[in-house]
Chain A
Amino acid sequence: MGCIESLKYEIVLRGASFAECRRYVEEHCRERVTVDPGFKIFEKPIIGVPPIVIGLDGEVVTFPYTKPCYGTFLLRTENPSEAARIRSLGKK
């Protein structure tokens, strides 16, 4: 996921389970949007167990990012256009 790796992001959770990422977003993010696996975020299909919950706090996006060897990371990044796109396409 070259696009994601080139972003300025903060790692919220490292080596977490998909359930832990979902719980964190539900408990800490002001706005939650549900998407299906394969939904494109930063131009790459998202990996996860549905329902995948993405957090939105204004223009800040909090989302899970899975790698085979490192498990799932929960990342947070500020991106106005992607936040708007996710808000318009995801299920609330």
Chain B
Amino acid sequence: MNNTWYAGRESIIVSEKERKDALLVLGCPQVPVQTAIALYLMYRLRTLGVTPVVAGNQAARMQVEVSDPLHHYGGEMVDIDTCIADLAEGRRRYSYYMVFVHNDAGISYAATVQSITGKKVVAILYGEHFREVGETIGFPCEKVAAKAVHNPMPLKKKIDEVLPWVVSNL
């Protein structure tokens, strides 16, 4: 059975057997670029044949819900505590793990996901102090980093550069 998903001029056909998914763990939505980048990342993942699943607290999820009411880019959304419990209990696994990190709590969530799943996570580092925050990461991960607070373009460019490699190699 095939599933066709259209994204503007791009379209792909993915067989059920090859279907991949990505968990996007959102942080606190206090940094303005997070929701814009999350939606853009969901769009890009879909063009690469990957189904995004969003985990976050209620505020982060509602930002996505209100910005994408028809779920054109987003899909399933789960509460972050439930998501971590499901991973810890082995009830759920994903093809890729992408964690939004702009503060110490983000590092803690990324480390937790990496430790529980044993897979390399993609840490999406942004915000005013993205460099200092990124330097505290001591666990296996791929970093996609840019100083993006209000303007998402620096981080969008980084995602455009690395996402095809991430989907092919992780």
Contact = CB atoms under 8 A, between A and B. Distances in A.
Interface residues of A, number: 22
B30 interface: yes
A77 B28 CA distance: 27
Contacts of A68: 26-28, 56-57, 60, 80, 105-106, 109
A45 B103 contact: no
Interface in B85-123: 85, 87-88, 103-109, 111-112, 115-116
Interface in A34-86: 36-38, 40, 44-50, 66-72
B81 interface: yes
B70 to A, nearest CB: 26
Nearest to B109: A47
Contacts, number: 70
Nearest to B139: A49
B8 interface: no
A70 B115 CA distance: 22
B138 A69 contact: no
Interface of B: 26-28, 30, 56-57, 59-60, 80-81, 84-85, 87-88, 103-109, 111-112, 115-116, 136, 138-139
A69 B58 CA distance: 11
The B interface, classified by DSSP as helix, strand, loop or mixed, is: helix
A27 B136 CA distance: 21
B82 to A, nearest CB: 10
Given A1-B81, A40-B88, A45-B85, A71 B105 contact: yes
The A interface, classified by DSSP as helix, strand, loop or mixed, is: loop
Contacts of A71: 103-105
A38 B70 CA distance: 34
A71 B109 CA distance: 11
